[in-house]
Structure 1
């Protein structure tokens, strides 16, 4: 668990911070609103909140938000941005979802691309923590990255498709629950990365895949791809959205 915490602290160094009116965020929240979700004056638990991508947006409407994350550095950034934006309705906690003690239920649980919900037990715990529903954003059925696939292969690893919406739909079926409204969103992105950021991304990917990063291998690999002090590569991915009423 400490290795995972260190990996996310590493990611926090260059993880995109909240930006007002970010298109992807607004489209995701609109999906939930189209499902009948109303965040106004509600209490929300944001599991795996990171540096506040959604907590800061939802704080405009919610009565209170608790952001939970394993990374102290991510939480520190969220606290800084909440303070600078004048939000007094965001509370934070550093810790794992497994260890979090549910003292009271929230109106909504929100989880976006969070490894905390990567097994059925943790997913059921999230469902039991809300009185209205779970807003779920996770991986879909596709994940490809020529850059990450290459550096992982150098370390004897394969790029994995994390637990995501297909798993959630299976768990709900096993629980005898009705299939929720859901949506898959696919995208292909051409990324341009500096050498420094590429090194951080490679090290993070290796760590979360359970490997030990060789900085010599990483630097040699990135050097072979670098043109004019940057690296350009494509990523394909699909995310899955679902609102699960309880």
Structure 2
């Protein structure tokens, strides 16, 4: 699993100090719910390249960015240095690596890091306040549609439903909201091939990069090609 996420680091979005509308809406909902990061210690589980971690670092006292991919964390550290952010530390590992630690806020977005009730229990015990966001529906891409069929799509809502069931068993009050996003991403053809190859591999689809390039090249405008993406996620605060 580490190897496949290290591959993804090559094309994964990097931190930008200017929030996309989706990110701004997400943080606006947190504010509506009374979440305040000021002077708080935060752990970001499945932090990746720091797309959210570095925003959190600007808002909080300090943050620990945890991820299974050392390549992702390397990019995060470079971005932190580039933007002069120095209150963030990184840890290469899984949620079990921090099960005996305590933070003010535990944060997880768009990550498969929680796989079992044991993981949910660790996440629950990590902090007094928790922020969780994950897919409700499969991420749709007009380019991936050229390769995928319904039988190859994972049930993206399962992690959310399992966590909700776990929290309901404890009588935990949950504030939640469904967020949708439609966006476009333009890359070079070669970068898009890398990106699509990763998504297809993680979905169990066997295509060579040459096959992928051959199927999408007629959609390119010169050396650039645009992917239109639709996402539907659920945010839970508890």
For the superposition of Structure 1 and Structure 2, which TM-score range results when normalised by the shorter chain? 0.7 to 0.9
User: Structure 1 stretches of 5 or more lacking a match?
Assistant: none
Which residue of 161, 166, 175 maps to 1:171?
166
* Counterpart Cα distance in 1 of 2:211 and 2:116: 32
Kept in 1, the 8 Å contact 2:194–2:209? The answer is: no
Range 8-17 or range 203-212, more displaced: 203-212
Distance 1:96 1:213 in 2: 30
- 2:155 is aligned with 1:147: no
Structure 2 residue 101 is the aligned partner of structure 1 residue 107: no
Aligned equivalents of 1:213 and 1:7: distance in 2?
15
Work out the CA distance in 2 between the residues paired with 1:215 and 1:142.
Answer: 23
182-191 vs 140-149, greater mean Cα deviation: 140-149
Residue by residue over 1:207-236, the C-alpha shift from the partner in whole angstroms, topping out at 9 and shown as x without a partner, is 222455423322322235445444344332
Residue 82 (structure 1) aligns with: 80
- Distance in 2 separating the partners of 1:176 and 1:80: 40
- Kept in 2, the 8 Å contact 1:70–1:96? The answer is yes
Q: SS where residue 83 of structure 1 aligns?
A: helix
Alignment check: 8 A CA contact 1:169 1:179 kept:
no
Q: Distance in 1 between matches of 2:84 and 2:126?
A: 27
TM score, norm. by length of structure 2: 0.87
Q: How many residues align?
A: 236
**TM-score, length basis structure 1:** 0.84
Between 82-91 and 159-168, the greater mean CA deviation after superposition: 159-168
Larger deviation: 112-121 or 218-227?
218-227
Q: Structure 2 unaligned segments of length 5 or more: list them.
A: none
SS of corresponding position for 1:115: coil
Q: Secondary structure at the match of 1:104?
A: coil
Matches of 1:38 and 1:133 in 2, distance apart? 10
The structure-2 alpha-carbon separation of the partners of 1:157 and 1:225, relative to structure 1 and needing over 3 Å to count, comes to: farther
Provide, for residues 129-184 of structure 1, a one-character-per-residue CA deviation record: whole Å limited to 9, x for no partner. Answer: 11x2111111123532232233245xx961324244344323322x2424411000
Q: Aligned to 2:139, what secondary structure does the other structure show? A: strand
